[in-house]
């Protein structure tokens, strides 16, 4: 038996009926050329043969002396974890997203290994989907993405590819937080490497105080208590709504060139516009701008080892109507945060993140100070593959992340890139944020308005 790390234990303690703590991915495939009408049924039959999963997919929880531990499941039941389903007619993407919304609302059974895979047929246009969810105590968002990619191939002729749970495991490492839910784990990490960590705290406390004072004089400057009260920050229920859409990467790159900003700045500006329009439709737009918590890479070279990721607070400019001015505000807030981190050591970056996110972490753990709010929404960008991928000859047409919402953080906007597309996956509490799917239309509207501002139309 292996005891879970303190961070992974925390994800289990945070889980409640209204706050499931699993991450997931939705992959949309097209049938291989020449595939018959029973193709998906035959695929399901072949997948069920992989009934002896590899770690961590064969591990279930046990508890000893108050600590969660992993132990091998000696009574593994493939029929519980792998399910073959069909959409009701007419089999549109709307029905697919409704199914994913319902499944993502359900807690995983802690008496079994904490994962499920749903093979879904009946989708219009000779397509099928795979929805896979795994508890955050098992994998983080980037680890899940990498595991999903290992199950695919760039070769359309390759066959006999096993499902993700049948691959030999690779050693899992955790560096700086790679998933927005790790705002809580940042607080836990403050105790690791105690002597080096504690030595940085006084200087960082002064830096946070300085940031807070600057925010009083500059409305575009972001401090840790600047996020306004919004409908996004109410208590959540266990009901989920998932919405997904792809947008052209070339269009966004063209905009980043026109405005001399990064692709991430354009994406954040899109999200700011979408949230502004949504809140206006709900008669709930605050006077002050919404603040997003954004995991941001700080890597300055092409090295692959380790993580160099911090969590920044970005001003989304939701108080600004003009799209070009909003983009400039977003760009300025992100640039200022990057500049601050560029002057810090890795320990200082980790501790600054932990101290900045401490109010949010304490609220998630205790709920004692709901007005202490560092951010309103989570926006995360997980890098994806550029080349087309296949699963036993079936072409991957789209891949959409399905993340986690937390109490008083009722919306998570996660995106990834694939084959010239930016794929958005939006997950929200259905009851807290009604008609959340309108955000997809507002994201497209934002691109068009930026193109007009850039003189493209």
Q: Which positions are annotated as active-site residues? A: 136
> What would the two tokens of residue 147 be?
């595991």
The torsion angle over the Cα atoms of residues 202, 205, 209 and 215, rounded to 10 degrees, is 140
d(CA 421, CA 425): 13
Phi and psi at residue 3, in whole multiples of 5°?
-75, 135
**Rounded (5°) CA angle 265-270-274:** 150
> What would the two tokens of residue 279 be?
């809140």
- CA 277 from chain center: how many Å? 22
Residue with tokens 């958005």: 424
**Torsion region of 225: left, alpha or beta (phi above 0 gives left; psi -120 to 50 gives alpha):** alpha
Write a three-state SS string for the chain. Answer: CEECCHHHHHHHHHCECCECCEEEEEEEEECCCCCCCCHHHHHHHHHHCCCCCCCCCCEEEEEECCEEEEEECCCCCHHHHEEEEECCCCCCHHHHHHHHHHHHCCCCCCCCCCEEEEEEEEECCCEEEEEEEEECCCCCHHHHHHHHHHCCECCCCCCCCCCHHHCCCCCCCCCCCCCHHHHHHHHHHCCCCHHHHHHHHHHHHHHHHHHHHHHHHCCCCCCCCCCCCCHHHCCCCCCEEEEEEEEEHHHHHHHHHHCCCCHHHHHHHHHHHHHHHHHHHCCCCCCCCCEEEEEEECCCCCCCCCCCEEEEEEECCCCCCCHHHHHHHHHHHHHHHHHHHHCCCHHHHHHHHHHHHHHHHHHHHHCCCCCCCCCCEEEEEECCCCCCCEECCEEEEEEEEECCCECCECEEEEEEEECCEEEEEEEEECCCCCCCCHHHHHHHHHHHHHHHHCCCC
């Amino acid at each position: 038996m292996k005891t879970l790390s303190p961070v992974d234990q925390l994800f289990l303690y945070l889980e409640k009926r209204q706050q499931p703590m699993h991450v997931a991915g939705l992959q949309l495939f097209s049938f291989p050329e020449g595939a018959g009408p029973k193709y998906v049924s035959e695929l399901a039959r072949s997948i069920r043969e992989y009934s002896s999963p590899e770690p961590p997919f064969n591990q279930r929880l046990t508890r000893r002396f108050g600590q969660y531990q992993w132990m091998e499941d000696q009574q593994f039941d493939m029929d519980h974890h792998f399910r073959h389903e069909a959409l009701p007619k007419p089999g549109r993407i709307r029905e697919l997203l409704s199914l994913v919304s319902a499944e993502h609302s359900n807690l995983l059974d802690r008496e079994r290994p904490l994962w499920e895979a749903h093979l879904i047929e009946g989708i219009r246009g000779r397509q099928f989907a795979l929805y896979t969810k795994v508890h955050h105590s098992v994998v983080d968002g980037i680890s899940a993405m990498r595991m999903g990619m290992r199950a695919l191939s760039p070769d359309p002729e390759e066959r006999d590819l096993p499902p993700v749970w049948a691959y030999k495991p690779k050693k899992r490492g955790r560096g700086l937080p790679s998933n927005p839910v790790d705002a809580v784990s940042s607080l836990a990490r403050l105790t690791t490497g105690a002597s080096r960590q504690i030595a940085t705290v006084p200087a960082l406390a002064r830096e946070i105080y300085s940031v807070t004072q600057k925010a009083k004089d500059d409305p575009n400057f972001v401090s840790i208590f600047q996020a306004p009260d919004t409908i996004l920050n109410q208590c959540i229920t266990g009901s989920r709504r998932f919405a997904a859409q792809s947008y052209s990467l070339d269009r966004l790159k063209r905009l980043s060139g026109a405005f001399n900003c990064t692709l991430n700045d354009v994406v954040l500006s899109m999200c700011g516009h979408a949230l502004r329009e949504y809140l206006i439709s709900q008669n709930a737009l605050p006077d002050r701008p919404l603040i997003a918590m954004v995991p941001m890479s700080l890597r300055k070279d092409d090295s692959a080892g380790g993580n160099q990721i911090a969590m920044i607070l970005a001003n989304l400019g939701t108080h600004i109507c003009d799209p070009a001015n909003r983009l400039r505000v977003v760009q300025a807030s992100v640039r200022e945060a990057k500049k601050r981190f560029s002057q810090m050591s890795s320990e200082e970056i980790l501790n600054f993140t932990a101290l900045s996110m401490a109010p949010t972490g304490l609220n998630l753990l205790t709920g004692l100070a709901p007005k202490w709010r560092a951010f309103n929404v989570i926006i995360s960008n997980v890098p994806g593959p550029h080349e087309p991928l296949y699963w036993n000859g079936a072409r991957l047409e789209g891949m959409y992340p399905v993340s986690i919402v937390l109490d008083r953080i009722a919306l998570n906007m996660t995106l990834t890139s694939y084959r010239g597309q930016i794929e958005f996956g939006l997950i929200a509490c259905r009851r807290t944020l009604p008609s959340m799917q309108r955000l997809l239309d507002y994201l497209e509207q934002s691109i068009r308005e930026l193109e007009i501002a850039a003189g493209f139309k």
